Each structure stands twice: as structure tokens, then as C-alpha cells.
Amino acid sequence: MWLVHFWAAVIAFAILMYVVLDGYDLGVGILFGTQTNEQHRATMIAAIAPYWDGNETWLILVGAGLFAAFPMVYAIFLPAFYLPVALMLFGIAFRGVAFEFRERSTGMRPVWDQGFFLGSLIIAFVQGAATGAMVQELHVVDGRYAGGGFDWATPFAIFCGIGAVLGYALLGAAWLVLKTEGELRDWAYQRLPWLLRGVVVVLVIVFVFALADHLHVFDRWSTHPLLLVLPLAAALAIIGLVLGIRDRRDGMPFTMAVLAVAFSFLTLAASFWPYMIPYTVTLEDAAAPPQSLEFFFWGGGLVVFPVVLIYTAAVFWIFRGKVLLGYGSTQSHS
Amino acid sequence: MTPTLTGPQVLATLIGYVLVYAFIFAFGIRYIYALLREGPTETGLRHAPTTGKRPMMAAGPAETATGTAAAAE
């Protein structure tokens, strides 16, 4: 049934877009917490203000897409991650209002700033930890989640959460290098190599742990060795990232970081295939009835999805180039 | 229904949502009220071309809009 594959492709693409796009603006939010200069903080906000809520619509597309096309995945994922996802939503709420409220308030500004930083941090952590818990396999019986509310909190998953925080911060620093100039760009350049080292260390430890724990992830790799081209491409992108930092070519770190994330995501997707909840629920198991998939195809697939794609591209085109203070910046401090 | 989701978990998140939204909306209403009291400012007029999703931009920076910033800083 081609519609099942169509919707799986749309959702996979939307997840990748979300991780890359919200990844860099969450990363800027995480780095924001380590920056004390108010002028630079204002520039950091201005560097993501036109994009961030557009970026987050990809998460809504993922959620709505799963609910409509693969309701079983939605029904397993949410109870398995009920508390962390609620925490993530609190983070999204605080982070979203911080953009406006920090400019309106001087007395309360530290509170909104902390909300912005901690919100970004928690969102990144929950997403990484959920991915780690999925790799370790959820306790699913008869298509239902049968574990407890804290089953996700394994050392492996927590480690993956830390990895996501570092990875998003890496994307964020690369974005700042692309969009800013002067002192703040230097600051971001200084952080890039450290964040990259952190990400590589986490990846190596996760890999060794998965190998030692005999996780199912590796079965696919031993039967389909050609797939190794994906992690290899990710490694090449990381080398490109290192070169971009060394030569200080402003556009290169972000491009290479995006490629590294994209190939890492494809690597993960290839290890899961054909499962959607590894390794219990397949694409076909989870798919909604053909009538539903077809119904959603005409509205969601042919209209909503392209519209989101077009406005994402439009925003990036309209706000291309370096940040010009004046949009979303606190004028009072300039 | 979801068999593994317990009552206390649901209650905890419900209370969480109420608290988070009460906090955010309390300050949101306060900031919008301050905006209305202030009325249009010269800075606001200069910023006039703004977008619907950033309505507060038109009000300019906090210092001029609330009039309390000097004391707070």
C-alpha cells in the first residue's frame, strides 16, 4: 500500500526537518543560558526570532501526522513518555513567551531568561532521552504500552538526552556563526569545537553501550552492510564541520552540522526499518485504515505539507544574511 | 483507555498545566494592561510595520512602555 509508505516518508521528513530546524533554535536557547552579555543575548534572540515558531510547526506536523496516519504509534509513544512530554510542553510554553516577555519586563527579565534557557534545555533532553528509550525498546504488549511511567529513565536514555542537548547546542552555535558578526560570532566559534568533541564522545559511548548490550539495532547492520554508507557520510560531514571551523567559513559549520544530523537520522531510521516502534510495531501494523490514509492524503498530504514547506523556505529567504538588529532586538540596549 | 497511565500522573500534569498557564497569563495580562495604559508611543509608531505574531513589538522597549524600568534597573 503506497499510502502507508507515503505517510511514513512524510513523517520521517517532518521529524528530520524538526530536529534540524528547532534543533538550532533550541541550541541557541541553550547557549543563551551561558551568555551573560545583554547585548549579545538580544542578538541571539534576534537571530532566531523570525524562525522559531515556524520551525516548531514541524513538531505539530509530526504529532498530527502520527495521530492521523499511525494512531498506534501515537497511542504507544504518549503513555510511554507521558511525564517527560508534559515537562517538554511546559518548557515550550515558557520558552515561547520568553521572546516577548523578556522585552516587556526588567524586574522579571531574569525569570523569563531562565525560562527560555531551561525550557530549551528540557525540550532537547526529553527528545534525546525518548529516542534513547525507543532504541532500547519499549515494553509493548498487544499493540499497547505495558510499562510504567518512568521506564524511559534508563542510564542509556539519560545519556542520549545529554547527547541531544550537546547536539542541539552545536547546531545553535553553528547557526550563530552563520547569522552574527563580531564578538558574538567569535564566542560561537570558540564553543563549536568543544560541543563537537562532546557530541562525538557521547556518540562513541552510546555506540559501545549498544554493542555491549546487544541491542537489536545492530542486527540490521550485520545483514545489510551497504547501509554503512549512511554513518560514513555523517562522519564525512563532521570532518567538513571541523574544516569549516578551522577556516572560519561562516556558512560551512551549519551546512555540515545539518548534513551530519541528516545522515545520523537516516542511520537511525535505517536501523529501525520496517519498525516504527522498534522492534515490535511495524509500519503496516501501525497504519490507519486505507480509507483514512487516503482522506488525509488530499488535505494533509497535498495541501498542508507543501504549505509548511513553502513558508519555511520563504522565511529563510526573507531573513537571509546576517542579523540586522532592529527586528526583535531590544533597541534600548543598542 | 491507556492501562498504564495512573491517576496521580494525570492529576500531576493537570495541576502543572494550570500552574504554568496561570503564571504565564497573569504576567501576559499585566504586560498588555501596561501597554494599553501607555497608549501609542513615538517608538511604537516608528515600529509600526510589525507582524501579527509579534504584537508587542509595536510598543517598543519595556523602558519606555512601562515607565518603571528606570527604577528597576
Reduced to 3 states (helix: H, G, I; strand: E, B; else coil), residue A8 is helix
Partners of B13 on chain A (C-beta within 8 Å) are 82-83, 86
Residue A236's φ and ψ, nearest 5 degrees, are -65, -40
Q: Do B9 and A82 touch (CB under 8 A)?
A: yes
Between these two residues, A195 and B54, which has the higher pLDDT value?
Answer: A195
Residue of B nearest to A81 (CA): B5
Q: What is the pLDDT of residue B44?
A: 55
Partners of B18 on chain A (C-beta within 8 Å) are none
Q: What is the pLDDT of residue A272?
A: 87
CB atoms within 10 A of CB B32: 14
Check if the beta carbon of residue A22 is closer than 8 Å to that of residue A264. Answer: no
Burial label, A211 (beta-carbon count in 10 A; 0-12, 13-18, 19+): exposed
Q: Which residues pair with B33 in a beta bridge?
A: none
- What's the predicted TM-score (pTM) here? 0.88
Partners of A89 on chain B (C-beta within 8 Å) are 17
CB atoms within 10 A of CB B49: 7
Q: What is the pLDDT of residue A143?
A: 85
The full DSSP string for A174-196 is HHHHHH--HHHHHHHHHHHHHHH
Q: What is the pLDDT of residue A327?
A: 47
Q: What is the pLDDT of residue B57?
A: 57
Residue A144's φ and ψ, nearest 5 degrees, are -130, 150
Q: How far is CA A320 from the centre of its chain?
A: 22
Interface pTM (ipTM) of the complex? 0.83
d(C-alpha A331, C-alpha A235), whole Å: 42
d(C-alpha B13, C-alpha A177), whole Å: 38
d(C-alpha A117, C-alpha A121), whole Å: 6
d(C-alpha A110, C-alpha A116), whole Å: 10
Q: What is the pLDDT of residue A221?
A: 80
Averaged over successive runs of 10 residues, the pLDDT of chain A (334 residues) comes to 92 96 97 95 94 95 95 93 96 94 90 96 97 91 88 93 97 97 96 96 89 78 87 96 96 96 93 88 92 92 94 93 64 39
Q: Where are the alpha helices (DSSP H) in A136-251?
A: 155-179, 182-212, 217-223, 229-247
Check if the beta carbon of residue A132 is closer than 8 Å to that of residue A159. Answer: yes
Give the B window 49-68 contacts with A, CB below 8 Å: 53-54, 56-57, 59-66, 68
d(C-alpha A311, C-alpha A253), whole Å: 24
Indicate the residue type of A88.
M
Cell numbers found for residue B9:
500522573
Q: Do A94 and B9 touch (CB under 8 A)?
A: no
Check if the beta carbon of residue B48 is closer than 8 Å to that of residue B58. Answer: yes
Å from A239 to nearest chain B CA? Answer: 39
Q: Do A101 and B27 touch (CB under 8 A)?
A: yes
Does residue A110 belong to the interface with chain B, where contact is any CB pair within 8 Å? no
CB atoms within 10 A of CB A110: 11
Give the mean pLDDT of B55-66.
52
Q: Do A332 and B64 touch (CB under 8 A)?
A: yes
Residue A330: which of B17, B28, B61 has the nearest Cβ?
A: B61
Å from A260 to nearest chain B CA? Answer: 32
Give the B window 24-43 contacts with A, CB below 8 Å: 24, 27-28, 31, 34-35, 43
